Chain A
Amino acid sequence: MDTTVTNATTGKVWGGGTQPMGASYGKLMIWFFILSDALTFSGFLVSYGFSRFKFLDIWPIADEVFTHVPFFHGNFPMYYVAFMTFILIMSSVTMVLAVDAGHHMKQSKVAMYMFLTVIGGGIFVGSQAWEWGTFIKGSYGAVETRGGRILQFVDAETGHQVALADFATHFETDRVQHEAKNGIWFESESAGTTYRLEEVIAGVQSHENILVRTETINSEGKKTILDRSESLDILNQAVGVVEGANLIHNEYGHRLFADFFFFITGFHGFHVFSGVMINLIIFFNVLLGTYEKRGHYEMVEKVGLYWHFVDLVWVFVFTFFYLV
Chain B
Amino acid sequence: MAQEHNLAIFRGTIKFKNNVQKIWGVLIFLSIVTTIEVILGIIKPDFLVYTNFLHMKLLNWIFIFLTIVKAYYITWDFMHMRDEKGSLKKAVVWTSVFLILYLTALLLIEGNYIHDVYQDGFVKWDF
Across the interface, do A311 and B74 meet the contact criterion of CB distance under 8 Å?
A: yes
In this assembly, does A49 line the interface, its C-beta being within 8 Å of a C-beta of chain B?
A: yes
Main secondary structure of the interface of A (DSSP, over half): helix
Interface size class of B (residues with CB under 8 A): 35 or more
Shortest distance in angstroms between A74's beta carbon and chain B's nearest beta carbon?
14
| Residues on the B chain within 8 Å of A96, using CB | 23, 77-78
> Which of B20, B96, B126 counts the most A-chain CB atoms under 10 A from its CB?
B126
Q: Is there an interface contact between B107 and A49, defined as CB atoms closer than 8 Å?
A: yes
B107 interface neighbour in A50, A56, A93, A322, Cβ under 8 Å: A50
Bound: A35/B88 CA distance, A: 12
A90 to B78, CA, bound (A): 11
CB of A46 within 8 Å of the partner chain: yes
The answer to whether B108 and A53 have CB atoms under 8 Å apart is yes
The contact of B34 among A86, A93, A309, by CB within 8 Å, is A86
A78 to B44, CA, bound (A): 12
Given contacts A42-B103, A323-B41, contact A89 B30 (CB under 8 A): yes
Q: Is the interface of B mostly helix, strand, loop or mixed?
A: helix
Q: A35-B96, A43-B103, A89-B27 are known contacts. Are A147 and B19 too (CB-CB below 8 A)? A: no
Interface size class of A (residues with CB under 8 A): 35 or more
Contact A49 B63 (CB under 8 A): no
Least Cβ–Cβ distance between A248 and chain B, in angstroms:
17
A111 to B103, CA, bound (A): 41
- Name B110-127 residues within 8 Å CB distance of A: 110-112, 114-115, 118-119, 125-127
Q: Can you name 8 A-B pairs with beta carbons within 8 Å?
A: A21-B91, A34-B92, A42-B103, A54-B118, A82-B38, A93-B27, A298-B1, A315-B74
